[in-house]
Amino acid sequence: MTQTPGGDPPAEDNGGLPARLGEERLSASVVRTGMFGTQTTGDTSGYGLLQVRKPPPLSSEPPYGGYFDAVARALGSALQAAGIGFSDAIERVVVDRGEITFHVRREKLVQVADKLLHDPALRFEICTGVSGVHYPDDADRELHAVYHLLSITHNRRIRLEVSAPDADPHIPSLTGVYPANNWHERETWDFFGIVFDGHPALTRIEMPDDWLGHPQRKDYPLGGIPVEYRGTKVPPPDERRSYE
Amino acid sequence: MTTRVTPGATDADEEAAEGRVYNVAGQDWDQVVAAGDTDRAENEQIVVNMGPQHPSTHGVLRLILTLEGETVAEARASIGYLHTGIEKNMEYRTWTQGTTFITRADYLMPLFNEAVFCLSVERLLGIEDRIPERAQIIRVLMLELNRISSHLGGIGPFGLELGATTIFLQGVRLRENVLDLFELITGLRMNHAFIRPGGVAQDLPPGGLEKIRDFLRQAPRWVHDLRTLIDANPVFIARTKGIAYLDLEGCMALSVTGPMLRATGLPWDLRKSQPYLGYETYEFDVPTTDTCDAYGRYWVRINEIEQSLRIVGQCVDRLSERTAANDPVMIADAKIGWPARLSLGPDGMGPSPEHIAHIMGQSMEALIHHFKLVTEGFRVPAGQAYVPIESAKGELGCHVVSDGGTRPYRAHLRDPSFHHMQAVAIMCEGGMLADVIPAIASIDPVIGGVDR
C-alpha cells in the first residue's frame, strides 16, 4: 500500500550494525552544540564540542499494530474509490507511543477529512480541534497543524498532521467537514499565522483585533520585565539561563 | 440609514454607528424613552452588547445579540478577554513547573488540567506503567472530588442567574466542603499543582481519609437537599425544559462532548470507553437522559455528582486497605520524581524539614541532584502525545510536543469550554432573550479555560 521512501530495497543483513550509515547522520543539520547552556569558556566539562544532529524524521511501515492497520486500509480504499492514491494524500505514517499520525499533504487535507468522517469503516465523528506547532528549523515545513480525530462508532483515535512553509502559510480549512473547527482555526491563525483557506471568517479570537504578530510562534518573544527581589534583579523567564 | 445619537453617547459612538445608538448606563431609561423614537421601523433590529462584564456570562464572556423584539436573531460570542498566555508561558518553564501554569486554565477544575498534562508528559516519557498504584488512586480520588466541585460551580450559579439565591448558596455550601478537603490535602483551595509528572506531590495528610469519610457521610444529604430545591422546582423547570435544545445530531456536527452530549442520550464517557488511571476497576454508572435541553444537562450533572461520590468512596476503601509502611506516591525514578518530599506546613505546601536537613547537612550528592533537578528539570524524549480525559465539562485533551529538552516545546490544552462556546449560536438563535442565560449556564463555560 505505502511505498518506502525512495523505494529502496529492504536492507541487507549487516551484522547487527545500525541501519543508517555514519555519513548520513553527519549530513543532517546540527540542532544543538555543547551542554549545560554555556556558550563561553565557562564549560570545562569537555562537552563543549558536542554536536547533536537532527534525528531523521520518523516513519513507520505497516503493519502498524492494533486498529491502526484497519484505519489505514479503510482510508486507502476510500481514497482509491475517489481516485486518489494513498501516497498522493499521505506523505508518511508514524506510529509512536501508541498513537498513529498521518502526515497529510495539505492539498488533499479536505478530501482525507471528508473520507474520515463519512466512510462507514472510518466514521471519525469528532474532531477535537487543531493545534499549531512552529518548527522554525524545519525548512519549508515550518508551520504544522495537528488535528486529533475521535470515532465514537469504532472507539478509535488518530492524528492528522499537515505542514506548510512559512513563506506560504496556507492550509485548507476543515470547517466544511467539521464545522466546530471554526474557532480552533481562528485560534491557530491568531497564534501561529496559519491561514486556513476557505474559513468563513478568519479573524483573531484571543488577541485583540489590532494585534501585530502571532504570539505563539517561536520567533515571537515571551516578553516580560525584570523584577527586583531583595536587592537583586530577576530577569524575565525568556532571558534566564536555559539548559536546552 | 440616518445616525441619531441619544444623550449619553459619545462622538466615537456617533462615528462608528450605523443607525441609532442608545448608550444605556443604568438608571437613565427615562431619558432614552424621552429622546423619542416615534419613527421606528416595524421590524427594526436592536444589537445588544452583553458583557464582557455581566454577572450571568460566567466571567468575561461578551455576547453580541441581535434582537427582533425579544427574539434573538443572531447570537455571537466574543472571547479573549481573559487570555493569559498560559501555553506560551509553559514553553519557558520546566515540565514540572508546567503543572503550576496549566492548573490555572479552567480554574473550576484545576486538577483535571494537571492530570491531563501529567498523563501526556508521562506518555512522552514512556512511564505510564510505572506510576505507583497509590498515586493513581489518589489521582482518581482528587479528580472525582473536583468533578463534584466543578459541577456545583456550574449548578449553583445556574440558579443564581435565574434569580434563585438559595440554590446558589446550597451549591456553594457543598462546594466549600470539597474545597476544604482540597485545602487539607494539597494546601490550596485552587491552583493546586498537586498532580505532578510521575505521581502526586505528596501523600494524604494524617487524618485525611477520616475527613473524606466524614464528607462522604454528609454529602448525600446535601446533594439531596439541592435536588429537592431544583429537580421539581416549577420556576426552574419553566426556565430550562425545552430550552437551549441541542440534539445528538447537533452535538455530533459540533463535536460536542461531556454532559451536553450525555443529555442527548448517548452514554459516551471516556472513563468507560477509553479508561485511564484504572477507571475500569471502579463501579459507577454513566447517567444519561434524552431531553437534549438545559434541564437535561443539569440532571446529568447532579447525577454525576452522586456517581462521583460512589467513586470517592471506593478510593477511600482502597486507600485504607493499603497499610504498607512504604507505599510511594511518586515514581521511583529519581530523575523524574520531584526530589523534595513535599510536606504540608502551617503556611502551605513546601519542602519537608527532613529533606532540607538531608541535603544541607548530610549528603552533598543529594544537594547536587536536588539543585540540578529543581533548576534544570528532567529531559523528555522528542515526540508528541495527546491524552484525552473525561473532565467535568467534556473531553479535555493536552497536546504536548517535546524536542528532547527540559521544557515543553509546545503544550496545547484542548479545553471543552472553548469548544462548546461555539454552540451558543445554535442554542440561542430563534429563542427568547431570557433563554440566553440558561443556555450559557447549561454549557457551564469557564472563561479561564476558554481563553487560557
Q: Using one digit for the tens of pLDDT, what is the confidence trace for A201-229? A: 999 999 998 999 999 999 998 888 899 98
- A25 and A74 part of one domain: no
CB count within 10 Å of CB B153 equals 22
Q: pLDDT-based confidence at A243, cuts 50/70/90? A: low
DSSP B341-402: -EEEETTEEEE-HHHHHIIIII-HHHHHHHHHHHHT-----SEEEEEEEEETTEEEEEEEEE
Domain count, chain B: 1
Tell me which DSSP letter residue B191 carries. Answer: -
Quick check: is A129 in a domain? Answer: yes
Co-location of A138 and A160 in the same domain:
yes
DSSP for residue A163: E
Q: How far apart (Å, rounded) are the C-alpha atoms in residues A126 and A104?
A: 18
Residue A152: which pLDDT band, with cuts at 50, 70 and 90?
very high
Q: Do B80 and A97 touch (CB under 8 A)?
A: no
CA distance B151 to B230: 14
Specify if A46 maps to a domain: yes
Which residues in chain A are contacts of B273 at CB distance < 8 A?
155
- DSSP 3-state of A170: strand
Q: Is residue B108 part of a domain?
A: yes
Average pLDDT, chain A: 84
Question: Same domain for A43 and A73?
Answer: no
**DSSP codes, B85-102:** -HHHHHTTS-HHHHHHHH
pLDDT of res. B27: 77
Residue B3 reports pLDDT greater than 80:
no
- Name every chain B residue with its beta carbon within 8 A of the beta carbon of A101: 384
SS3 at position B121: helix
Same domain? For A165 and A79 the reply is yes
Chain A positions touching B275 (Cβ under 8 A) are: none
Q: Which one, of A143, A165, A160, lies nearest residue B399 by Cα?
A: A160
In a domain, A215, yes or no: no
| B33 part of a folded domain | no
Number of domains in chain A: 2
Output B265 or B25, whichever has higher pLDDT: B265
Grid cell digits, residue B412: 496545547
Residue A221 is assigned to a structural domain of this protein = no
Distance CA(B227)–CA(B239), nearest Å, equals 16
**Cβ contacts (< 8 Å) between B120 and chain A: which residues?**
none
Residue B265 · residue B250 · CB < 8 Å: no
The CA angle B164-B418-B77, to the nearest 5 degrees, is: 70
CB B218 within 8 A of CB B406: no
Sign of CA dihedral B185, B190, B193, B196: positive
pLDDT-derived band at B30 (thresholds 50, 70, 90) equals confident
Q: Residue B304 belongs to what H/E stretch? A: helix B294-321
CATH number at residue B401: 1.10.645.10
Q: Are A176 and A182 in contact (CB under 8 A)?
A: no
Could you give the CA distance from residue B310 to residue B269 in angstroms, rounded to a whole number? 16
Angstroms from B314 CA to nearest CA on chain A: 27
Phi-psi group of A15: left, alpha or beta (phi > 0 → left; psi -120 to 50 → alpha; rest → beta): left
Summarised one tens digit per residue, pLDDT across range B102-152 is 999 988 999 999 999 999 999 999 998 889 999 999 999 999 999 999 999
User: Does residue B206 form part of some domain?
Assistant: yes
Q: Is the model more confident about A138 or about B287?
A: B287
* Closest-CA residue of chain B to A36: B376
CB atoms within 10 A of CB A3: 11
Note whether A90 and A49 are same-domain residues.
no
Interface of A with B (CB under 8 A): 55, 58, 96-99, 101, 125-129, 131-134, 146, 148, 150, 152, 155, 157, 159, 178-180, 182-184, 187, 191, 204-208, 215-216, 222, 237-238, 242-244
Structural domain that includes position B411: 86-336+378-451
> Do A222 and B89 lie within an 8 Å CB cutoff?
yes
Output the pLDDT for position B147: 93
How close, in Å, is residue B430 to chain A by CA atoms? 20
End-to-end C-alpha distance for chain B, whole angstroms: 40
Please report the pLDDT score of residue A5 as a whole number.
45
- Mark B211-238 as b/e (b = at least 16 C-beta within 10 Å): bbeebeeebeebbeebbebbeebeebee
Indicate whether A30 and A74 sit together in one domain: no
Dist. CA B113–CA B263, nearest whole Å: 24
Distance from C-alpha of A128 to C-alpha of A144, rounded to nearest angstrom:
16
Residues A123 and A153 in one domain: yes
Say yes or no for a CB contact (<8 Å) between B385 and A207: no
Contact A126 B255 (CB under 8 A): yes
Please name the amino acid found at residue A224.
G
Q: A46 and A72 share a domain?
A: no
Range of the domain at A81: 68-171
Domain boundary among A119, A151, A171: A171
Strands (E), B62-166: 62-68, 71-78
Residue in chain A nearest B424 by alpha carbon: A180
End position of a domain, from candidates A171, A201, A236: A171
Which of A131, A146, A171 corresponds to the end of one domain? A171
Picking from A28-32, B185-189, B228-232, B381-385, which range would have the lowest pLDDT averaged per residue? Answer: A28-32
Contact criterion met (CB below 8 Å) for B54 and B60: no
